[in-house]
Structure 1
Amino acid sequence: MSVRLTLEGGDSGARFTDVVGVLTSWTHGVLCVTRRTGEEVRIAESSLVAGKVVPAAPARRRGPAATAAELDRAAARAWPPVESVRLGEWELRAAGGFTRRANSALPLGDPGVPVEDALRRVAAWYAERGLPAYIQVSTGAEGTQELLAAELAAHGWVREVSVDIRIAALAPIADKDADVTRVTLSRDIDDAWLARYQRSASGEPSPEVLRVLRGGPSVWFATIATFETEHGASGVPAAIGRCVVDGRWAGFTAVETDPQLRRQGLASAVMTALARKALEEGASAAYLQVETDNDGARALYEGMGFSTHHSYHHWRAPHENHR
């Protein structure tokens, strides 16, 4: 819906404001609207001026046509957990705590029990593994889970991290005028690649880290070797990346560059080389995930033609549910 409301105490020229999102409840004189960003807005009924139903998503988007569920499932296959169980159509995923993506419930469908029971079971399953309980909830597209987000908020769950899923046609990325001559592609990771990867650079990666990174339908790793300097080479790559090819989708993750070598086209070269390999394997569309506060990465991906399809959010259970 699009809702217009009055602002108390506003200037004469800024008396009204609009809120666009999914109406998740209207009780006791208060409307709750969840924006595409996952933010819940509470609106007093007395401040309403007008409202209308609008489409859940634009009829036409930049980039490939896709549903949110299709993208969420492809992204889950590209970042697989070490352990998972089903709760109805929900999937509970665990990987020793390595990333929220691999350690959260993916609620794509009906859990087969009332939501309140499902939340208790999710919290208990993660507590048995000594992990915080997270549920990954999508918003901002047709068929996403704003109603579930409202349920989680009502039960005391807290939204901690928000991520945009961005999509693009793959061929234009592969056609970028990027220097790919220094990019090495491999089916497996080595110690040098892991030394650049920020989640494992500080020490020996756990078996869960390696299993998640190596998992997926068709996985490729990219490396740009470190530059030689007057002091020699450090052995840590200048840039790395990872791509998982899954049918028509090529999913990009772990694109990282030496902070001192940014804005030199290294990340673009990594993604271009991976995109060309994905095209060879029959992919035609690309996606990636970027946290909403990562301005540098967002600017890079926008320059490469990626646009936001929808967002997802990790909701954490109340602390008392972890015991």
Structure 2
Amino acid sequence: MNVSSLGFRTDLALLTASGSIVEDRGTHLVVRSPDNPSYFWGNFLLLASPPVPGGEKEVVGAFRTEFPLADHVSIGIDSPELTDEARAAFEAAGLAVDVATVLTAASLQPPREVEAEVRALDSDEDWEARARLSRHVDARPTEEVFMRFARQKNAQERRLVDGGRGQRFGAFVDGAVVSTAGVFVTEDGVARFQSVETHPEHRRQGLAAAVVHAAGRYALDRLGVRTLVIVADTDGEAIGVYRRLGFAEHEQQLMMEMRSGEWASSGG
């Protein structure tokens, strides 16, 4: 299966580089992250195209067959085009449908000055602080379950850092990590941002723009990147931050998920 979506193509490149497994079934891909089964978008199906009308429940059933122990269902489609009928059918099958925006930039505008130290994460303590920051960003299950998930995500990213693919930058206020953004090379000349997060008490202070800019400049100046890729909620506040930095819309990315068990009221 040839993946045309830049969003999914860069997702898959980083997942495989950090240890995930991609199985090609012709009409769809099965993506597995055995070390982190709670990672929704590390364990998902990617369809080449929407199913035939009435096939939505079969797609959910296929996910359940591939991931029988999962507390979630995550399904992507390599085309953002989804009819109103198909959307309604997926929603009736229990999935939330999200069409995100993929943006790209070849250069970046400078952000405003911030009262924080912005630098790459470079110690175990920095990465643990990043995991705990994630805990503040979203409502999650128990501390033990969430921190296991967050530390496993850190381990995946640190493999990318160790492989020379990129870095995660943080904004430090009074020694605490309050905002982060990672950026990693996915293919020649292309780098993808990962998980831009800011502590709720430190938002609207320019910190997200500062860490995205620092990470992006690192990729452009140090990694030989020509195109930066970032994905944002189409209706969220972050997309405005990225546009002000110089990112422009490239495409839409279609993702659907359902949560159950301890993750029922949160994201993964």
Which residue of the other structure, out of 210, 214, 220, is the alignment partner of 2:158? Answer: 214
**Alpha carbons of structure 1 residues 187 and 289: separation in structure 2 relative to 1, 3 Å:** farther
**Alpha carbons of structure 1 residues 208 and 164: separation in structure 2 relative to 1, 3 Å:** same
- 2:129 is aligned to 192
Higher helix share: 2
Shift of 1:226: 2.1
Shift of 1:160: 0.7
Q: Secondary structure at the match of 2:42?
A: coil
2 CA distance for matches of 1:316 and 1:181?
Answer: 36
**Alpha carbons of structure 1 residues 100 and 164: separation in structure 2 relative to 1, 3 Å:** same
- The one-letter amino acid paired with 1:90 is H
- Per-residue CA deviation, residues 164-197 of structure 1 (Å, 9 max, x unaligned), is 2332323224x55656982111467621222222
Shift of 1:242: 0.9
1:146 aligns with 2:82: yes
Shift of 1:278: 0.4
1 CA distance for matches of 2:196 and 2:90?
Answer: 37
2 CA distance for matches of 1:245 and 1:288?
Answer: 12
- 2:173 is aligned to 226
Give 5+ residue unaligned stretches, structure 1. 1-66, 228-234
- 1:292 is aligned to 234
C-alpha contact 1:164 1:289 (8 A) present in aligned 2: yes
Shift of 1:290: 1.8
C-alpha contact 2:98 2:256 (8 A) present in aligned 1: no
1:261 aligns with 2:202: yes
C-alpha contact 1:68 1:310 (8 A) present in aligned 2: no
C-alpha contact 1:252 1:286 (8 A) present in aligned 2: yes
Give 5+ residue unaligned stretches, structure 2. 261-268
**Alpha carbons of structure 1 residues 165 and 213: separation in structure 2 relative to 1, 3 Å:** farther
Query: Does 117-126 or 276-285 show the bigger shift?
Result: 117-126
2 CA distance for matches of 1:118 and 1:94?
Answer: 20
1 CA distance for matches of 2:12 and 2:30?
Answer: 11
Q: Secondary structure at the match of 2:177?
A: coil
- 2:263 is aligned to none
2 CA distance for matches of 1:133 and 1:77?
Answer: 21
Query: Does 250-259 or 101-110 show the bigger shift?
Result: 101-110
**Alpha carbons of structure 1 residues 177 and 210: separation in structure 2 relative to 1, 3 Å:** closer
2 CA distance for matches of 1:132 and 1:260?
Answer: 29
**Alpha carbons of structure 1 residues 286 and 187: separation in structure 2 relative to 1, 3 Å:** farther
- Figure out how many residues of one structure are paired with residues of the other and give that number: 236
Matches within 5 A, 1:96-245: 96-108=36-48, 119=59, 120-127=61-68, 129-139=69-79, 144=80, 146=82, 150=86, 153=89, 157-173=93-109, 175-176=110-111, 178=113, 182-186=117-121, 190-197=127-134, 198=137, 202=143, 204-206=147-149, 208-214=152-158, 216=160, 218-227=165-174, 235-245=175-185
Shift of 1:136: 0.6
- The one-letter amino acid paired with 1:124 is T
> Structure 2 length normalisation: TM-score?
0.69
- Per-residue CA deviation, residues 188-219 of structure 1 (Å, 9 max, x unaligned), is 76212222224689553346423443355713
1:249 aligns with 2:190: yes
Structure with bigger gyration radius: 1
> Structure 1 length normalisation: TM-score?
0.59
RMSD: 3.9
1 CA distance for matches of 2:99 and 2:122?
Answer: 27
1 CA distance for matches of 2:90 and 2:195?
Answer: 34
2 CA distance for matches of 1:242 and 1:259?
Answer: 19
2 CA distance for matches of 1:155 and 1:266?
Answer: 36
1 CA distance for matches of 2:121 and 2:168?
Answer: 5
Shift of 1:281: 0.9
C-alpha contact 1:238 1:261 (8 A) present in aligned 2: yes
C-alpha contact 1:163 1:313 (8 A) present in aligned 2: yes
- The one-letter amino acid paired with 2:26 is G
**Alpha carbons of structure 1 residues 104 and 169: separation in structure 2 relative to 1, 3 Å:** same
1 CA distance for matches of 2:250 and 2:143?
Answer: 33
Shift of 1:311: 2.5
Shift of 1:103: 2.1
